[in-house]
Structure 1
C-alpha cells in the first residue's frame, strides 16, 4: 500500500485509503451518519485481509481523519461531519478530496 514517500505524503495516503476503502463504504452500507467502533473494526478487518495490510496503519488513518475534522468521536461512536450528510443521503461517491474540501469550507 505505502510506497517510499515522505512522512506527510504517507500520512495522507493512509487517510485516503481509510476514508475510501473503509469509512465511506461503511457509511453507505449502514446508511447512517454514525457507526460504532465494532462496526468499524469488522469492516477494517475485511478490507485489511482482502488487501493484505496490517491494522496498525488503518488505526493511524482513523485518528488522522478525526484530527482533520472529517470524523467526530463521542464515546465509541464515530460520526461524519454534517456537511457530508447530503452525500450519504444521495449515496454519492465522496472521495477524500471532496470530504476534506467540504469540511474546510466555512
Structure 2
C-alpha cells in the first residue's frame, strides 16, 4: 500500500521514501452498491513508479463519492465536499373526489 506523506498528502515510495513518484497507468473502479447517503464510490487506482529507485506498485490515487446529496472527492489534497445542499423532499398529495370520477354502471 503506498504511503502518503503528512505534507500535502502526496504519494510516497514505500521502498525509499521519495516523494518523486510518477503515475504510469490509472483506471476506475465503481462500487456496485451505494453508501447510506445514496452515493456511489468511484475509486481511481493506479500504477505508480518511483523516479529515484525505479520501484513500481499499485494503489489508490483518489476516491470520489457521487450522488445523493452531493459530491465528495478524497484525493491527494484531503477531502473536499462539493455541492452539499440538503433540500427537503416535497410530498405530493393527491386528492380524489369520487363525484368527479365518471363511473359507468353496467
Q: Same fold (TM over 0.5)?
A: no
TM-score normalised by structure 1 residue count: 0.25
Report the TM-score when normalising by structure 2. Answer: 0.25
Say which structure, 1 or 2, has more relative contact order (CA 8 Å, 6+ apart): 1
**Which structure has more helix as a fraction of its residues?**
1
Structure with larger Rg:
2
